[in-house]
Amino acid sequence: IGKIGFLSIIYFGLPNLKITQIAILFLETAIEYLTNSSEFGDADAHYGLSILYHYGGHGVEKSKEKEMYHLDTIDLLKVYSGK
């Protein structure tokens, strides 16, 4: 589906939900997607999670420790990939 594609599926697939319900569902789906992708070494997913943990809110607890873990992992991925 891709990183953006599931948003359109949620929006067009659930037309009876209010926009706030769609946003919450999108956020839950995004967190799940980013978490799964990060487990496979996706640097963009680690960055997205670091942003979520930096700001917190909407069901995500603000956590400097988790933010830094994901940012440090990005650095490690760069070292191992030679970028």
User: Phi and psi at residue 62, in whole multiples of 5°?
Assistant: -65, 130
Per-position pLDDT tens, the chain of length 83: 444 444 444 444 445 555 555 566 677 788 888 899 999 999 988 998 898 899 887 778 999 999 999 999 999 988 888 76
pTM listed for this prediction: 0.67
Burial of residue 80 (number of CB atoms within 10 Å: 0-12, 13-18, 19+): exposed
Residue 35 token pair: 């978490």
Residue 33 token pair: 């997607």
| Length, in residues, of the chain | 83
Give dist(CA 83, CA 35) in Å, integer.
23
Through-space distance between the first and last CA atoms of the chain, rounded to whole angstroms = 27
